[in-house]
Amino acid sequence: MITRLVEDHAQALAGKGELPAFVYDLAALREHAAEVKAALSAPGAPEIFYAAKANPDAPILQALAPYVDGIEVASGGELAHVREALPDARLAFGGPGKTDDELCLALDLGVERIHVESPYELTRLADIAATSGREVDVLLRVNLAGDRSGVALAMSGPFGMDPNLIESCTGILENSPQVRLCGIHAHLASGLDASAMVAQSAEILAWGRAWLDRIGHTGPREFNLGGGMAVDYATPDTRFDWKQYGADVAALAEPGETLRIEPGRSISVYAGWYITEVLDVKKAHGQWYAVLRGGTIHIRTPVTKQHNHPHDVLTCNGNGPTVAGEPVTLVGQLCTQKDVFAREVPTDRIAVGDLVAFSMAGAYAWNISHHDFLMHPKPTFAYVGVKYALTNPRQLRQGFVVKSNRGKGLTEKSAHLFFSGAG
């Protein structure tokens, strides 16, 4: 359901000819993040490290900062961007295939934990730390076998180390006093409800504790239990049960342990909308189509998830082609059959000039899309419910500047910022 604040700004953008647009409700984001933080407040409950890959926009990061314990990044680019946006944030650096330059950057920028993906990566990191005369704290990423049937995404294959390969790390650690082993990281699957997430967390903890005991690890231990909290695009009002998860996982913690999670989609997805307008309505071979400005070049989520993306039609009383009481397929402007937002969805009425607001566009939307295909204009970006302005020029370039070729030539223009108080 679109918020009133977002709908008002969608209409304003339409009136100025600045659609398509991503509109983010930062007040709604802060409210949701505060609820998640409160649900994980019991002793033993995990720390929250927001996964920047879900949506790394500077305003998103800054809105979340008071409600998370840190940020998880998965590339050197994300690392530099997040450190720029949040100079004092605690950072964890994960992801496969880290280069030497990225590992050096992680040490230079004060990353708190590096999640090591392989013995070779651990060896290179140890050499870099020794050469630079610095110490580094690591978690070893384990990839456990098990039944992952029914999950949205199983993180098997090249991610982390299986229990056989991880044994190779013990000798490297013994010969590398500059590398401190703090614990275990595991992200095994995505799309799990609270009960399944608790069961998976228990699986990770049981294996990790036993392995650390066997290699003689002493002192405080950390277990990063990953992310993957379920998000249901078919029923947007259905939310992950953070209260149940927080209470049940806290009960799993043992004295001297720090638990940590790295949710992304389940934090930011609900705060974003992709707003566009209907360009044409037509019937072909018995099927009605509404052609929308933009397309999955801007929001690739419907293609990657293979679903009908949730949306609201905002009637604007245009005088162009109209269809009422028929199923309609919503498509974009691309010259491909795959450019589909939603197929044969029941529609009371849709007409040329109406606006379509796709909800749940706050994560894995713009940032995973193939923006330059067919050279259509880039969308506008709007952040509503902003508490304060960003003034750092680099943040403005990274977070707010978009390109538009509406009108004459290709120009740069600042995306709209709406300052509406605390919200």
Catalytic residues, which ones? 335
Residues 139 and 346: their CA atoms lie apart, in Å, by: 49
Tokens, residue 168: 């190779």
Contacts of 234 (CB under 8 A, 6+ apart): 307, 308, 310
Residues 121 and 139: their CA atoms lie apart, in Å, by: 12
Question: What 3-state DSSP class applies to 316?
Answer: coil
User: What angle, rounded to 10 degrees, do the helices at 242-250 and 26-39 form?
Assistant: 30
Report the b/e string of 4-34 with b at 16+ CB within 10 A: ebbbebbeebbeeebbbbbbbbbbbbbebbe
Residues 103 and 179: their CA atoms lie apart, in Å, by: 13
In the numeric block, the tokens 């992950």 are attached to 240
Helices (H), 109-150: 119-132
Tokens, residue 164: 């056989």
If we measure between CA atoms, which residue out of 156, 163, 240 comes closest to residue 196?
240
Tokens, residue 131: 């050469």
Tokens, residue 36: 């998640």
Residues 316 and 305: their CA atoms lie apart, in Å, by: 30
Residues 65 and 354: their CA atoms lie apart, in Å, by: 36
Strands in 195-320 per DSSP E: 221-224, 257-261, 272-284, 287-292, 311-314
